[in-house]
């Protein structure tokens, strides 16, 4: 259960494309760390946000999309619930996705606080996906968007091809290292055993310029 000694308003925001065969019951189980933390007995009960004007947790059946715009009151222990949720969503996701989580310090008043005091506000990006390649693709795309947005203040977009290529090279290098590490855990070919390595067989991240 949540501890309210040092409360936060915790906002979870993002969209996750789900596999076509995923149904409500599977999604309810995957999101159990969230709605259970909120003190609910089911996803339907816990899907409502702390703020009425936020959509909360929604399952778009036609688009096979999980939509999150949900706030809960809690503390730092909510991070464990987020870790469990991400592990669960990896199994249900169709593609990589980013989830933004913001911790707002409800006890900090900037106008009344001591000048040396600091807010405990925090922000984190979580990534889910069916395999490491899908997750790295989302990370790569967000990084490129941020870099181009920053550098376009000084350079024309047409001048930034080299920067994007370098980002692609770094992500490809990281992916190759991951695949190689997974290859070490595979049994020798012809041994009669199945191939190990789990998620290592995904495609490399696409290079989008």
Tell me the pLDDT band of 4, cut-offs 50, 70 and 90: very low
User: For residues 143 and 171, what is the distance between their CA atoms, to the nearest angstrom?
Assistant: 11
Lowest mean pLDDT among 4-8, 46-50, 137-141, 168-172: 4-8
* pLDDT tens, residue by residue, 114-157: 555 666 789 999 999 999 889 989 988 888 888 888 888 888 87
**Burial class, 163, CB count within 10 angstroms (exposed 0-12 / middle 13-18 / buried 19+):** middle
* pLDDT tens, residue by residue, 56-96: 999 999 999 999 999 999 999 999 999 999 999 999 999 99
The better pLDDT of the pair 75, 209 is held by 75
Nearest to residue 67, comparing CAs of 33, 102, 100, 39?
100
H or E element, residue 168:
helix 161-183
Average pLDDT of the chain to the nearest whole number: 82
pLDDT at residue 75 in the model: 92
Neighbours of 73 (CB within 10 A): 16
């Amino acid at each position: 259960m949540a501890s309210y000694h040092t409360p936060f308003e915790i906002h979870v925001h993002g969209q996750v494309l789900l596999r076509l065969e995923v149904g409500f019951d599977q999604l309810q189980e995957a999101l159990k760390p969230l709605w259970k933390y909120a003190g609910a007995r089911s996803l339907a009960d816990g899907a409502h946000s702390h703020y009425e004007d936020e959509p909360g947790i929604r399952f778009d059946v036609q688009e096979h999309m999980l939509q999150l715009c949900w706030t809960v009151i809690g503390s730092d222990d909510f991070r464990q619930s987020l870790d469990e949720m991400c592990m669960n969503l990896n199994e249900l996701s169709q593609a990589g996705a980013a989830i933004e989580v913001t911790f707002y310090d409800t006890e900090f008043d900037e106008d009344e606080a001591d000048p040396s005091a600091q807010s405990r506000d925090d922000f984190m990006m979580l990534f889910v996906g069916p395999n490491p390649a899908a997750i790295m693709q989302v990370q790569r795309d967000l990084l490129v968007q941020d870099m181009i947005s920053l550098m376009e203040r000084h350079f024309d977009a047409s001048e930034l091809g080299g920067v994007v290529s370098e980002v692609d090279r770094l992500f490809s290098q990281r992916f190759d290292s991951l695949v190689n590490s997974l290859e070490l855990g595979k049994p020798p070919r012809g041994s009669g055993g199945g191939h190990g390595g789990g998620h290592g067989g995904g495609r490399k991240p696409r290079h989008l310029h």
